[in-house]
Copies of this chain bind each other. A is one copy, B any other.
């Protein structure tokens, strides 16, 4: 069945499209007789307004673009879920894409998304991304942008991040307070701000507790994978004086490390404590259960969406746009892998 238009139903009734339009949206100044007629025909023809026509006329698309490095990654799918839930509440829709941690692809998809006419963009930068000219271009078109998780400081946009510094600081403090002094860190790549922050939190905690920083206790991931955690844990064990505890930049890395430790006959946490970051669901299922720093992806998605929708509204109202920088707290969730005197498992 061909899509019915206002004119179709107008011609069927021998009236004009304008009248039909008004009848359908319940304008007060319309005779109830023609209104009935219009409604009847509309219903019979299965009429629905053509969305593109409406949006073109109204000059509002009600769609926001979302770019994450990897849709399959649980942290990002949590974020996307939060975004969808929040924006749909206000009648917006989400157009989703992924960069696969490639700078080149990130540039391509943001441009493609922009070309669809989105009202705003929510984005997490790829690990490869160092320059943000592709986003500057978008801002010249007055496109509201909110960055989350992996953000850029060289851009005047709103941001939402976890307090990586504080989360890391608290995680390492938790280890130090239990008497572990030789604490290692498997860090993330150089560029992303959040892996720098976690590293900074690690160093700050050591400093505050008077523990000397030892370069051989720091390893740096490229891809931030389970396999790297595994390899670096082995590397630590091979040191003349191995560490007693590891703070890993993510749970995947932490879990990989635990795997290597167990294979090497080490007991976790008795011989070596391990704590990760992100609090994946699996942390509760493993043996030992894995301590981690809780950051809610869903919340990040919600907060970022709220900021973006606010800016879109401000733009529409010709109000000055104000950028905000949210830093969400992270909480240490202690489980078996980092607890010297194993306690009762908390469900």
Contact = CB atoms under 8 A, between A and B. Distances in A.
Contact of A97 (B84, B116, B140, B285): B84
Nearest to A55: B52
Interface centre among A50, A62, A71, A286 (most CB of B within 10 A): A71
Contact of A255 (B62, B78, B285): B285
A72 B63 contact: no
A96 interface: yes
Stoichiometry, copies per complex: 2
A287 interface: yes
Contact of A116 (B51, B70, B286): B51
21 contacts: A1-B140, A1-B142, A2-B142, A3-B142, A46-B141, A48-B115, A48-B141, A50-B56, A52-B52, A52-B56, A52-B117, A53-B56, A63-B95, A74-B74, A74-B77, A77-B77, A85-B98, A91-B112, A94-B97, A95-B96, A281-B282
Contacts of A298: 72
Contacts of A140: 1, 46
Contacts of A77: 71-74, 77, 80
Interface of A: 1-3, 46, 48, 50-53, 55-56, 61-63, 70-74, 77-78, 80-81, 84-85, 88, 91, 93-98, 109, 112-117, 140-142, 255, 259, 281-282, 285-287, 298
A287 B78 CA distance: 26
Contacts of A78: 72
Contacts of A113: 93
Nearest to A108: B88
B71 A61 contact: no
Contact of A88 (B81, B97, B117, B282): B97
Nearest to A73: B77
Nearest to A74: B74
A151 B48 CA distance: 26
A48 B137 CA distance: 12
A67 to B, nearest CB: 11
A98 B81 contact: yes
Contact of A84 (B61, B62, B71): B71
Query: Which 8 A-B residue pairs are closest in the complex by CB-CB distance?
Result: A51-B117, A77-B77, A71-B81, A52-B56, A282-B282, A96-B96, A72-B81, A287-B287
A254 to B, nearest CB: 11
A283 B70 CA distance: 21
Given A72-B74, A112-B88, A50 B1 contact: no
Given A52-B52, A74-B74, A98 B112 contact: no
A101 B203 CA distance: 45
Contacts of A112: 88, 91, 93
Contacts of A109: 88
Interface centre among A2, A73, A96, A281 (most CB of B within 10 A): A96
